């Protein structure tokens, strides 16, 4: 199943894959909510899912497809190549991540590997991860250095939640939230929460 809100891109992928005898396109659409309904009905083996859709973004669509068609393996497609972006997608249950700069051969390789039950990350993102590791062999830089819990706190922080509200949502003590907030500021080299929010916006960080 192909899901992308850009008609030309969707039709190009469809045309490319239909030319391969071993592939069958069972559904295609450009709307996230419709994609979830289609997945419920046709239960596709593979879903090529554009992450940058509106109004329902691909991350939310991914969660819903996994809920209603858990056997479907999802490959995220995006213009974004930041490692943190790919990591979030895989953390939510996708099996692959391919940027729209990837060549046809890499897309086919991703489908083949994911269909076999393996995970796949495109070369462009892998190279960025490797470059980050070379810069600092002990830890990744920026947003990628945050732990799972710190990412959760950062996401709530970005929506304006107080430490008390975050503590309730995450089921942890307020003091623990404050420790996470301090660690986030330290890792991202920001002085205060206002600077942190500016950092998230200016670096187009997706949480």
The pLDDT of residue 132: 62
* pLDDT band for position 17 (cuts 50, 70, 90): very high
Name the one residue in this structure whose structure tokens are 């969707």. Answer: 10
Cβ contacts of 130-135, under 8 Å, gap ≥ 24: 132/83
Q: Looking at the chain, how many residues does it have?
A: 207
Q: How far apart are CA 199 and CA 185, in angstroms?
A: 10
Domain positions in the chain are: 2-131, 146-202
Q: Which segment of 55-69, 106-120, 128-142 scores lowest on mean pLDDT? A: 128-142
Q: Per-residue pLDDT averaged across 110-115, rounded?
A: 95
**3 DSSP β-pair partners:** 29, 49
Q: How far apart are CA 104 and CA 166, in angstroms?
A: 43
Q: Per-residue pLDDT averaged across 175-188, rounded?
A: 92
pLDDT > 70: percent of the chain: 90
Whether the predicted pLDDT of 34 surpasses 90: yes
pTM over 0.85: no
User: What is the number of H-type helices and E-type strands within the chain?
Assistant: 10, 6
Q: How far apart are CA 62 and CA 59, in angstroms?
A: 5
Q: Per-residue pLDDT averaged across 17-38, rounded?
A: 92
| Shared fold status for 2-131 and 146-202 | no
Q: Please give the CATH topology (third level) of the domain spanning 146-202.
A: Arc Repressor Mutant, subunit A (1.10.10)
Please state which CATH class domain 2-131 belongs to: alpha beta
Q: Which segment of 44-58, 98-112, 128-142, 191-205 scores lowest on mean pLDDT? A: 128-142
Give residue-wise pLDDT tens across range 86-105: 888 888 899 999 988 889 99
CB distance 53 to 32 below 8 Å: yes
């Amino acid at each position: 199943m192909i899901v992308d809100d850009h008609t030309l891109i969707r039709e190009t992928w469809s045309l490319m894959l239909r030319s391969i005898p071993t592939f069958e396109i069972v559904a295609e659409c450009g709307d996230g909510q419709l994609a979830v309904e289609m997945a419920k009905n046709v239960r596709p083996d593979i879903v090529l899912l554009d992450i940058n859709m509106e109004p329902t973004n691909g991350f939310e669509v991914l969660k819903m497809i996994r809920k209603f068609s858990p056997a479907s393996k999802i490959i995220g497609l995006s213009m974004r190549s930041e490692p943190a972006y790919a990591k979030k997608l895989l953390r939510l249950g996708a099996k692959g991540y391919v940027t729209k700069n990837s060549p046809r051969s890499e897309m086919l390789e991703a489908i083949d590997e994911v269909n076999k039950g393996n995970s796949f990350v495109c070369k462009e993102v892998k190279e960025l991860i490797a470059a980050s590791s070379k810069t600092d062999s002990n830890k990744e830089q920026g947003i990628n250095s945050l732990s799972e819990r710190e990412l959760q706190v950062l996401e709530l922080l970005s929506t304006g939640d107080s430490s008390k509200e975050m503590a309730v949502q995450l089921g942890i003590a307020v003091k623990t939230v404050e420790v996470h907030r301090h660690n986030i500021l330290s890792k991202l080299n920001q002085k205060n929460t206002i600077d942190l929010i500016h950092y998230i916006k200016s670096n187009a960080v997706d949480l």
